Amino acid sequence: METEWDVIIIGGGPAGLSAAIYCGRALRKTLLLEKKVFGGQIVNADIIENYPGFAEPIVPADLMEQMVKQAERYGVVLENDEVSGLRQVKESWQIEVYQKMVAAKAVIYAAGSVHRFLGVSGEKELLGRGVSVCATCDAPFFLQRKVAVLGGGDTALSEALHLAKFASEVVIVHRRDRFRAEKILQDRVFKNDKIKIIWDSEVRSFKGDQKLSGIELKNKKTGANETIGLDGAFLAIGTIPNTELLKDFVRLDDNGYVITDISLGTEAKGLFVAGEVIKGNRRQVAISVGMGVQAALSCEEFLASLD
């Protein structure tokens, strides 16, 4: 693999691949680095039903495969490598990967985020089998069924309201005795007859063999345990952005997300961001694709100024 590039993209999910396509079309020498699977977390989902332009459901892995081929068509080099170091040396970005260094005039950082999990019994085993991390993606599968949302922030209440359009009953399980979400969301939840709330409770385990059948709860105040039957459980306890490598270069909010403007540029010259590392991202493929395009266009403007 060559060591000098115009652009290096870190992260091979929808944002990174979209950025790669646009950088390649601009005839920039582009390297994309992805430590796991090209396509990102979305390839683990069964189908996507809300991606614009597709009247029928599509398989996420198939969509991402087409994006990979499209990037390669424009000359982008895709490598499975984990980035372990990032530094700026004069006008160059130095990136450390396994046993070597690569350099670029510009970097687009699209390393995404990871879901927070509870770490209790049955959680990972039943993921995709009734346990979900995306109500927007999976709500239609639970038409007229009973589901739970685990969490008490903006995301949890928003997902509960969305699920209430489909499910017969939505139970919000929150470990405290009050929500931390915006008041307008709380008002909507309290007024929705389909939504019930279980306060002061933690999930001890997820029950079920091949699919979810219920969750075991413990009341933090009384110590009592109970199991409630469910068809679905949606984790809404936040995400963790993969921004550890950026902390010395850009502004991060209290949760580690990058603070930027619509250009998706940063305080560091030649460093751009896209996708789920950005504060306020809604974790939708279409949004990440658009961010990747925006970051690539801003990056091209920067590179053009160097020519």
Percentage of residues of the chain with pLDDT beyond 70:
99
Q: Work out the pLDDT band at 282, boundaries 50, 70, 90.
A: confident
Q: Quote the pLDDT of residue 46.
A: 67
Q: Which of 244, 293, 301 is nearest to 15 (CA)?
A: 293
- Give the confidence band of 14 by pLDDT, cuts at 50, 70, 90: very high
Concatenating the DSSP letter of every residue in the chain gives --SEEEEEEE--SHHHHHHHHHHHHTT--EEEEESS-TTGGGGGSS-BS--TT-SS-B-HHHHHHHHHHHHHHTT-EEEE----EEEEETTEEEEEETTEEEEEEEEEE---EEE-----BTTTTTBTTTEES-HHHHGGGGTT-EEEEE--SHHHHHHHHHHTTT-SEEEEE-SSSS--S-HHHHHHHHH-TTEEEE-SEEEEEEEESSSEEEEEEEETTT--EEEEE-SEEEE-S-EEE--GGGTTTS-B-TTSPBP--TT-B-SSTTEEE-GGGBTT----HHHHHHHHHHHHHHHHHHHHHH-
pLDDT score of 261 more than 80: yes
pLDDT higher than 80, residue 47: no
**Res. 48: pLDDT tops 90:** no
pLDDT at 99: 81
Q: Is 299 a catalytic residue?
A: no
Catalytic residue, chosen from 6, 23, 81, 137, is 137
**Tokens in use for 1?**
């693999």
Residue 138 among the catalytic residues = yes
Q: Could you give the domains of the chain?
A: 4-114+239-306 (3.50.50.60), 117-235 (3.50.50.60)
pLDDT tens-digit series, residues 73-89: 999 999 999 999 999 99
The pLDDT of residue 284: 87
pLDDT score recorded for residue 281: 84
Note the pLDDT of residue 42: 84
Q: How confident is the model at residue 305 (pLDDT cuts 50, 70, 90)?
A: very high
pLDDT in tens, 196-253: 999 999 999 999 999 999 999 999 999 999 999 999 999 999 889 999 999 999 999 9
pLDDT score, position 120: 97
The stretch 53-66 carries a mean pLDDT of 94
Q: Which of 134, 177, 253, 261 is catalytic?
A: 134
Q: Residues 160-204: pLDDT tens digits?
A: 999 999 999 999 999 999 998 889 999 999 999 999 999 999 999
Residue 1 banded pLDDT, cuts 50, 70, 90 = low
Bridge partners of 31? Answer: 8, 77
The pLDDT, as a whole number, for residue 222 is: 96
Query: Can you give the pLDDT at residue 69?
Result: 98
Mean predicted confidence (pLDDT) in 120-130: 96
Which of 6, 81, 138, 231 is labelled catalytic? 138
Residue 207 burial (CB count, 10 A): 19
